Structure 1
């Protein structure tokens, strides 16, 4: 694997730009150029596909994220990125300024994100080299000015976002290089006038949207006209009281003008401006007489958004009269007008409407919508929106006038408690109904009757506790039913009977504890079922039997599913779901799944995505994934107190797996028996495990791997990881932040650079040199011992005699006159004839049976006897010559004789012994002794 390289591998280098004549970043906010060059020089020159501070998007090549890396300048992030990078996100760092040519290494960059930093200064030429950049995001920084030369070379830029900066000034020529700019956002700054901004953008011939909301604008001028290409100008949330100061033609080309939430009170202020091209004017939140404005200006009523304006008494009637015209009104938006009540036929004087929006008022009831309209509007209304009001109930509308084209109703964000029978009888063509985010506790069994065309129904985030079979009986076209975050605890059999076209059912966030066998009866086309965040204790295959032929997505996360035995007495719960491709089982409560029974996923032959994260799995059988041959994504993350090492063969049938998340599962090792069959794996997440190495044999069996995360693993700097060091520095696999991997607890030593020279010593030579002599010695010693045993023993005793003689050289007195050496076979002669004769002559003899010290070594006794006697008397016979001990005694005496050069040896021959026998006896040392 190490021989393969990424197509964009380049040596790490930093660009050197000439010193500009204009002011650069100050030393306190940018590192000196010399320091940056030294930093680049010290970086290892490797062709690495792992980046110090960035991560490449797995799905979108050349898109890089370098967020939350505490970067003080772009250099540490840019220095090792490939020059073909097209998107770079450096948000959420601590950069204070940008040096010239900070991104020159990335000439193909199209999107650059620098939001949420601490940028105070942009040096002239900061973006040099980015000729194809299309989007630049500088929002949420500390910029106070846009200086001349900052945006040089950005001729292709189309979107510039500088919102939420304390921006006070914009240099008149700062934006001139942006000849392709279409969107400019300066929202949330501290600009005080439109004139200077108009001067800065007047040369932008393609500018279409200018956002100056939430500044400190108090005047429109003085200043030049805005570009003729400008279509949308947003000036909301400022302090504009008068519109004076600007030239009449300043806004002549603007189509959409937002002046919401200013302090404009005089309608006469608009008479000084040319607004004949305005197609939509927002004036919400201004203390303005809107009807007077329409009387004295050239603003057409249908181009004015009446939302948020004080309409006064009979205001709705006046609005409707102003909007009269031969053509139908596409949309009437009356948001935030303080409306509290709408009487019958209140909107009768309005023109024909397609959409009616009454959101953000204080309406407590609207009754049946058709009662608000006149006959001419009944045939045209298509969309009704009454959100963020105070509606408390929806009454029965069985006898109300029908609105044949009304297909979309939204009553979200109200306080609706009950819905009466046939509450929507006036809208038989209804396709989308939103009743979510209310306080609905009672839905009449006949509330939705007659809605045969309804395809989407949202009842989520209410207080419903019971569902009845007849409630949905008429919804034969319904495709999406959302009941999330209610208080449903029981699903009665047949409750969904009749929903023959339902494809998505969301029951998440309820109180379901048990699903009856017939709970899903009547849903032959159900594809997506969400049961997450309930209290389910178990699921069985019989529950899913009615939807087994179509169900593709099943969400069971954050329930109370538990299995305390490895064996299921019943069939596996998903046995019949042969079409299921996405299964979520993560985060079971309160402590997660403890174990998975054998063949738990049997039958899921089409499953592609499986999530088991945030469970405390203590046991995973080797056969648990055996049936998931088509699985492409498996997540087991955050099970650190449970899994530890995986069993051998657990992934053996997952040949199509591409994404595997094992973050924080407590792994101690990677083995071929576990990972050897994942030939198509592309993404492997192993962060926060107990791994000390990444096995090279495992890496060689993952030929498709492209992304590896080993963060916060205690990798060791040992010879076992020398291959890993080479692999990190030259691989086609993106390793997340490879230069941050420390050597276990050694925070100053890194895997990518630890000293590996000791690992390449020829240890074999040293081991051979050390072991060969030992082996030879072990071979020679037995042979020598066998062949020269007596000679070695003789020389050993000679040595001991010599040592003893040296120690006793000064001794002059002897304990005995003679030491008698004889064989036990001759003992009778010695004791009866020799000893009595000698002792009668006043000689003191040393006899072994009488004078040797008991308990002492016999050798020590012999040595002492020889050296403590004046003479050694050897009684020689053939038995004497064949005795080992006798031979030893005579040899010791002979050694003393040779050493002292005195006649101390006396031989007594008991029988005739040839000379040859004397010299070839057991010791072979009698020859030459005195007789």
Structure 2
């Protein structure tokens, strides 16, 4: 048994109801609900439709527990698409809280049996799709209460019979599809009758007998691929409104034996002619069908004689405007083969074996508007083949092997609005302009070009020349595609652009898309993008839908949102009435859908803004927000990422900068201290002395006459010579009080404090200068602190005693010492014992009360003038 596709009956169904507004809406909805879903704000496994906010799409989300999904949905929705999931059962009343629900799609699931009350309380339901499941049994009250149901689809299940007076439970039913089941008969006694049923599909079953006399309103019936079906001449006598009868793979004699009235009422007829019959039997079948306008003929196995110059060499109904010869293994079409069909408007030749198209093949078809040549083996089209098709609007050449399309091949198609070149072998060079004559073209589809490794090739600056009216274009899925930055410049009317499966990483998207100011929908799916440019489109663009699915984008810049266009837009208020934003609302973002699904985003603080924005915004839909996965193991989904720490980013940055500055300063201070330690130490001591302000009056009392500053290596001389001669002189001599480190420093106090206290408690400071003294850091501190007294109280108290000759360069670390050596008198310890008595006399004279001493040098105490030599 041959199984037919959805398109085999949906296409005639859609066309047959063109005059019936309600049924056209139902058929269109049937097609829409089988298309991949749009997006939403943030429902679990579902998303909200962009065009109509009360439509919810849960398409292909691996859902197995229907309750866990629908319980999260708002109650005011009118349509739910749950198709292509793993649902096995529907709990009773699962949709009861959706009182406004009108459309429900549960196709392509794993449903086995319907046990009753699954659709309870859905009084407004008009469309129910249960096709492509495993349903073998339906309880009698399953559809009870569906008083508004108009469309019921049960195709591709395992039903062996029509259950308990189905049509009696559905008083408003108009469309029923029971194709691709296991029905053996169909009669009014089994299923009940209906005064409203108009369209019935019973194709691809095992039906032998059919009785549809209880459907007086029936307009369309499809019985194709019921190979054992037998039709009586009076089968359709009760169906006075029947206009479409599809009987492919059914014995053609059944059509020839129909009553004259039935044949006169038919408008659309489909039948098959088998191998043993002549193809000219078409004429016999059409005889008496004076009003037929659409004919679909299955000639599979029948061979047209080579000498035949016309497919129909017989008078054809003057109303015939649609002819389908699809799936007939036709290998060649001779010139003028259709010349007798002067009224023909639609010609379908897809699914044949055509290899080439010759000039005049479609001669005399001046009224032809639609030509479908898809899914053949066409590799060559002669120039001028379409030149007689002055009124052609739609041309489908997809699924062939065409490698070359030129302006000469497409000449004459001035009114063409749609051309489909999908899945061919086209390859272009940068200088080509193949569509220059298609000035009315509005839709161009040219994805999947190959094989051979070439792909679509180079899209040069003139490639789209002449396509000023083009509104929608699909391009991509090509191994190689280079786009010139100015290629899209002629496309001033382009609204929708799809680019799939092309490596756009090396292409300057901003430059390429710059001319497209009127673009409303942009799809860049599977384009190998690592980043999304912030300035993707020109300023003041009209973008409403942006999809970048299935790329390698890990991080989103907030500049993308900041650069989105804002302006006055048309929308709807909460009560459904049209609403147009006013100038004060002009900051409303035009974008309505931002789809970044199937990109593994980095769950880091770089994307924390996007997570927060996507969850909280009520203006822009983010498709499948709760299914956006992370590219690391910390969180599986973006919405689960804990971004609390990211709120401290600014503080962290400030702390980081502060710590960095402090570290640099610390290192700088350490290096400076290491290099200029003594100088810095002196400065600190000087500042400390200034702050303390230890100034003593002229008559101040001192605890000691002199503080002895010396190196530990010179301690023997100090204790053996200096101390005895100054503190314990001969009887009658002046006794002096000396301050010594080991004897007079206060235990437990800091060394610096002891040194400072000793200097300021002594009238003088005696520095015992030797080479060891000059190398000692503590001696340096003592010398510098003693020098500070000049700053504090204006007195120079230093007395220098040299125990040995010091070369000129040795005192250089101490500028003050060097200065004293050069400008003041100092004492030198004589090696000759006879001169030592004179040394002590001179030292004691220098230690007398400072009131009787004269300053040996003038010192400027004005601050900076002495500071430089002091530390130099």
Report TM bin, short chain. 0.5 to 0.7
Matched, 1:330 2:264: yes
Partner of residue 666 from structure 1, selected from 552, 556, 579: 552
Matched, 1:82 2:66: no
1:626 corresponding residue in structure 2? 514
Assess, with a 3 A threshold, how the Cα gap between structure 1 residues 529 and 730 changes in structure 2: closer, same or farther.
closer
Cα offsets for 1:496-545 (capped at 9, x unmatched):
33433333333334444444553333333333333343333326777547
Assess, with a 3 A threshold, how the Cα gap between structure 1 residues 445 and 654 changes in structure 2: closer, same or farther.
farther
Decide whether the 8 Å contact of 2:530 with 2:551 is kept in 1. Answer: yes
Partner of residue 590 from structure 2, selected from 684, 690, 704: 704
2:368 corresponding residue in structure 1? 478
**Unaligned regions of 5+ residues in structure 1, if any?**
1-47, 166-187, 244-250, 259-278, 333-353, 409-429, 684-699, 796-807, 822-845, 866-871, 889-904, 925-931
Assess, with a 3 A threshold, how the Cα gap between structure 1 residues 682 and 78 changes in structure 2: closer, same or farther.
farther
TM-superposed CA distance for 1:110, in Å, is 1.6
Assess, with a 3 A threshold, how the Cα gap between structure 1 residues 862 and 663 changes in structure 2: closer, same or farther.
closer
Cα offsets for 1:250-295 (capped at 9, x unmatched):
x89724899xxxxxxxxxxxxxxxxxxxx9999965598x89x99x
Give the SS at the match of 2:444.
strand
Decide whether the 8 Å contact of 1:286 with 1:309 is kept in 2. Answer: no
TM-superposed CA distance for 1:84, in Å, is 0.9
Matched, 1:529 2:391: no
Partner of residue 485 from structure 2, selected from 598, 620, 631: 598
Assess, with a 3 A threshold, how the Cα gap between structure 1 residues 562 and 706 changes in structure 2: closer, same or farther.
same
1:900 corresponding residue in structure 2? none
Partner of residue 506 from structure 1, selected from 396, 413, 424: 396
Output the TM-score relative to the length of structure 1. 0.57
1:214-233 pair list within 5 angstroms: 214=181, 226=192
- Deviates further, 443-452 or 395-404: 395-404
1:174-193 pair list within 5 angstroms: 188-189=158-159
Name the CA distance, whole Å, in 2 between partners of 1:205 and 1:449: 48
Partner of residue 392 from structure 1, selected from 303, 310, 313: 303
1:576 corresponding residue in structure 2? 466
1:888-907 pair list within 5 angstroms: none
Matched, 1:366 2:279: yes
TM-superposed CA distance for 1:600, in Å, is 1.6
Decide whether the 8 Å contact of 1:548 with 1:578 is kept in 2. Answer: no
Give the SS at the match of 1:721.
helix
2:801 corresponding residue in structure 1? 875
Assess, with a 3 A threshold, how the Cα gap between structure 1 residues 540 and 525 changes in structure 2: closer, same or farther.
farther
Decide whether the 8 Å contact of 1:491 with 1:516 is kept in 2. Answer: no
Decide whether the 8 Å contact of 2:768 with 2:800 is kept in 1. Answer: no
TM-superposed CA distance for 1:639, in Å, is 1.4
Name the CA distance, whole Å, in 2 between partners of 1:298 and 1:755: 68
1:909 corresponding residue in structure 2? 843
Decide whether the 8 Å contact of 1:331 with 1:356 is kept in 2. Answer: no
Give the SS at the match of 2:368.
coil
1:112 corresponding residue in structure 2? 104
2:621 corresponding residue in structure 1? 734
Give the SS at the match of 2:546.
strand
1:797-808 pair list within 5 angstroms: none
1:559 corresponding residue in structure 2? 449
Name the CA distance, whole Å, in 1 between partners of 2:609 and 2:100: 36
Give the SS at the match of 1:103.
coil
TM-superposed CA distance for 1:331, in Å, is 7.5
Give the SS at the match of 1:197.
coil
Give the SS at the match of 1:556.
strand
Name the CA distance, whole Å, in 2 between partners of 1:283 and 1:531: 31
TM-superposed CA distance for 1:863, in Å, is 11
TM-superposed CA distance for 1:392, in Å, is 1.2
1:805 corresponding residue in structure 2? none
TM-superposed CA distance for 1:387, in Å, is 0.9
Decide whether the 8 Å contact of 2:496 with 2:520 is kept in 1. Answer: yes
TM-superposed CA distance for 1:160, in Å, is 5.5
Name the CA distance, whole Å, in 2 between partners of 1:124 and 1:68: 25
Assess, with a 3 A threshold, how the Cα gap between structure 1 residues 674 and 860 changes in structure 2: closer, same or farther.
same
Decide whether the 8 Å contact of 1:492 with 1:516 is kept in 2. Answer: no
Structure with the larger helix share: 2
Matched, 1:51 2:43: yes
Assess, with a 3 A threshold, how the Cα gap between structure 1 residues 435 and 396 changes in structure 2: closer, same or farther.
farther
1:197 corresponding residue in structure 2? 164
Name the CA distance, whole Å, in 2 between partners of 1:464 and 1:387: 16
Name the CA distance, whole Å, in 1 between partners of 2:801 and 2:119: 116
Cα offsets for 1:714-755 (capped at 9, x unmatched):
242538726742651453333333334466524547654655
1:695 corresponding residue in structure 2? none
Name the CA distance, whole Å, in 2 between partners of 1:769 and 1:578: 55
2:866 corresponding residue in structure 1? none
1:542-553 pair list within 5 angstroms: 543-544=433-434, 547-553=437-443
Name the CA distance, whole Å, in 1 between partners of 2:169 and 2:413: 61
Name the CA distance, whole Å, in 1 between partners of 2:183 and 2:376: 45
Name the CA distance, whole Å, in 2 between partners of 1:283 and 1:441: 24
Give the SS at the match of 1:584.
strand
TM-superposed CA distance for 1:546, in Å, is 5.7
Decide whether the 8 Å contact of 2:384 with 2:409 is kept in 1. Answer: yes
Decide whether the 8 Å contact of 1:458 with 1:482 is kept in 2. Answer: yes
